[in-house]
Amino acid sequence: MKEYRFEEISLGLSESFQVEITREMMDKFRDISGDVNPLHNDTEFAKARGYEDRVVYGMLIASQISTLGGVYLPGKYCLIHGVEIDFARPVYIGDKLTISGTVKEIHESVRRLTIKFVIRNQTGKTVSKGILKAGCML
């Protein structure tokens, strides 16, 4: 886990990590969220609507932004204030995602960081992007 302190953070500081989306993650997310929508749970339903397979929950992908802030940037002393996220392309089970974040704004007066993030799949296509607003407690 990264342990950036506020004064150690500069504009342009970047961190990234990778994660593979598994069937088990989908099952756990369905159980936790209660979202039983067939687009995420029924392959035939999803294919009938033009997708390759059932589509990974957008909010499961968004959960990786919790990891980006809480584990990587700034890491241990993170307090997430808000997230804005767009889902640009579908993600499927087995996709290997790279989550990258870069510090775009530093507001020392309120110890707030604005971090732009992008999530790409194994082919390099952007599947998601957005902004993480996070405090750094130390």
| Residues in touch with other proteins (CB under 8 A) | 81-82, 105, 107-112, 114, 133, 135
Q: Which is nearer to other proteins, 44 or 108 (CB)?
A: 108
- Whether the CB-CB separation of 117 and 99 falls below 8 Å is answered with yes
Provide, rounded to whole angstroms, the least separation between the CB of residue 60 and other proteins: 25
Q: Are strands 78-87 and 14-20 parallel, antiparallel or unpaired?
A: unpaired
Exposed (0-12), middle (13-18) or buried (19+): which is 20, by Cβ within 10 Å?
Answer: exposed
Cα–Cα distance for residue pair 70/36, rounded to 1 Å: 28
Q: Which is nearer to other proteins, 111 or 116 (CB)?
A: 111
Provide, rounded to whole angstroms, the least separation between the CB of residue 85 and other proteins: 17
Provide, rounded to whole angstroms, the least separation between the CB of residue 114 and other proteins: 8
